[in-house]
């Protein structure tokens, strides 16, 4: 079997899909994208795929190594996201060729379903108590919410109190054992992150996510000394070498590599296995589309230390198109009692509605995250 061609499709709300074709008529799908930089990743995909034309798609490790190691400059969000989507598509081809779901080719499942959580509150968190109760009543056992809007490196305690009140509203609405994850989103710098983490610790949170930017990971030690709340990070880390240092630091409880950003299934399995050796949990990052989620679920099936899966159904970014729209078998993402089953069809398990993908890609999206400013006019972290 040889790779004979490929196509990329930029589709709303903010996704990029890749189809890899072979001389035996078996095609695979991947989702290579960095939110807000889809066009940049698309260019990188084209550069990598031109190198792979004529290669054997079943030699996934070899293809991965060729993409990563044949360039003098490597790593980072754009290149690793391009590799990630290509890797997903190669696994999809291999699974379809073998007539097996990808998880069977990775050693077989340790679980048949995994817990999922739902987003509430949007970028500027509001009405989270009512939204969380709605999610609970629809069967979810956990939600995630952004903590704050803009926050200066040193800021008002009024903003701290606002966060406390929002989390309190969720806890009051949903009860003492409902899972609440709070995403600091890298918006908060170390001085205020310490204050906020301590202020919300009493709510017995599922985890605090990205309390500081990943480039400031050394600052996590100042937070872990203050609270017992599990600390999560990793969506802006892109390879096993990025994760090596944070695992060795003993300052993280949960890592969150993204299968569309951190080198795909091949690399993220290695990252997850590294984390297991440090007794660190895994919660794969995935506020993206159906191909990315399917890839995550295939890996969730074989990763012992995976415990919960992010998914984007109804997320505030999905304006106009949502998670189920581009696939013909949306039933694979049906959530029951807070869990989703591992897809069982060959490959990644999703049947892409190619006609709709082609139609929607005729007007490519141009999604970019908002540019926020503090009251003094300086740029705020989004």
Residue 316 confidence (pLDDT): 87
In this predicted structure, the answer to whether residue 319 has a pLDDT above a threshold of 90 is no
With 0-12 / 13-18 / 19 or more C-beta atoms within 10 angstroms meaning exposed / middle / buried, residue 199 is middle
pLDDT in tens, 160-211: 999 999 999 999 999 999 999 999 999 999 999 999 999 999 999 999 999 9
The answer to whether residues 257 and 131 belong to one domain is yes
What percentage of the chain's residues is helix, strand, coil (to nearest 5)? 40, 15, 45
In this predicted structure, the answer to whether residue 314 has a pLDDT above a threshold of 90 is no
In a domain, residue 381? The reply is: no
In this predicted structure, the answer to whether residue 273 has a pLDDT above a threshold of 90 is yes
Measuring CA to CA, which residue among 343, 266, 347, 274 is closest to residue 309? 343
The answer to whether residues 117 and 96 belong to one domain is no
Binned at pLDDT 50, 70 and 90, residue 92 comes out as: very high
Known catalytic residues are: 185, 285
Binned at pLDDT 50, 70 and 90, residue 362 comes out as: very high
pLDDT in tens, 97-115: 999 999 999 999 999 999 9
Binned at pLDDT 50, 70 and 90, residue 141 comes out as: very high
> What's the gap between Cα 230 and its chain centre?
18
Q: Could you give the number of structural domains in the chain?
A: 2
Binned at pLDDT 50, 70 and 90, residue 126 comes out as: confident
In a domain, residue 356? The reply is: no
Q: Residue 173 is part of which domain span?
A: 104-348
The domain that holds 316 is classified in CATH as 3.20.20.120
The domain that holds 7 is classified in CATH as 3.30.390.10
The answer to whether residues 314 and 228 belong to one domain is yes
The answer to whether residues 299 and 240 belong to one domain is yes
The answer to whether residues 143 and 55 belong to one domain is no
Binned at pLDDT 50, 70 and 90, residue 320 comes out as: confident
The answer to whether residues 22 and 40 belong to one domain is yes
Binned at pLDDT 50, 70 and 90, residue 355 comes out as: very high
Binned at pLDDT 50, 70 and 90, residue 66 comes out as: very high
Q: How far apart are CA 241 and CA 271, in angstroms?
A: 9
Measuring CA to CA, which residue among 335, 328, 329 is closest to residue 310? 335
**Which are the contacts of 343, defined by CB distance < 8 A and separation ≥ 6?**
101, 294, 297, 298, 332, 349, 350
């Amino acid at each position: 079997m040889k790779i004979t061609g490929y196509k990329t499709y930029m589709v709303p709300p903010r996704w990029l899909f890749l189809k890899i074709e072979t001389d035996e008529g078996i095609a695979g799908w991947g989702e290579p994208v960095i939110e807000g930089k889809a066009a940049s990743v698309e260019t990188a995909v084209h550069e990598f795929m031109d190198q792979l034309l004529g290669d054997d798609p079943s030699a996934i490790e070899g293809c991965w190594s060729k993409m990563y190691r044949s360039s003098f400059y490597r790593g980072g969000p754009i290149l690793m996201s391009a590799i990630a989507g290509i890797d997903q598509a190669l696994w999809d081809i291999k699974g379809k060729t073998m007539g097996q779901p990808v998880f069977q080719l990775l050693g077989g499942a340790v679980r048949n379903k995994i817990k999922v959580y739902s987003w509430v509150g949007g970028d500027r968190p509001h009405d989270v108590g009512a939204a969380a109760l709605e999610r609970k009543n629809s069967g979810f056992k956990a939600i995630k919410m952004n903590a704050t809007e803009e926050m200066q490196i040193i800021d008002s305690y009024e903003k701290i109190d606002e966060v406390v009140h929002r989390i309190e509203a969720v806890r009051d609405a949903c009860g003492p054992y409902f899972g609440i994850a709070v995403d600091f989103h890298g918006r908060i710098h170390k001085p205020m992150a310490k204050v906020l983490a301590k202020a919300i610790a009493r709510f017995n949170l599922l985890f605090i996510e990205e309390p500081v930017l990943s480039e400031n990971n050394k600052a996590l030690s100042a937070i872990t000394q203050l609270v017992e709340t599990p600390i999560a990070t990793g969506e802006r880390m892109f390879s096993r070498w990025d994760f090596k240092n944070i695992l060795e630091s003993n300052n993280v409880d949960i890592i969150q590599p993204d299968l569309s950003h951190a080198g795909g299934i091949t690399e993220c399995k290695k990252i997850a296995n590294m984390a297991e050796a440090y007794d660190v949990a895994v919660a794969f990052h995935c506020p993206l589309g159906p191909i990315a989620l399917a890839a995550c679920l295939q890996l969730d099936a074989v990763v012992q230390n995976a415990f919960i899966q992010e998914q984007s159904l109804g997320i505030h970014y999905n304006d106009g198109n949502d998670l189920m729209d581009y696939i013909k078998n949306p039933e694979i993402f049906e959530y029951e009692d807070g869990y989703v089953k591992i897809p069982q069809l060959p490959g990644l398990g999703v049947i892409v509605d190619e006609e709709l993908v082609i139609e929607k890609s005729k007007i490519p999206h141009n999604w970019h995250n908002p540019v926020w400013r503090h009251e003094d006019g300086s740029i705020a972290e989004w």
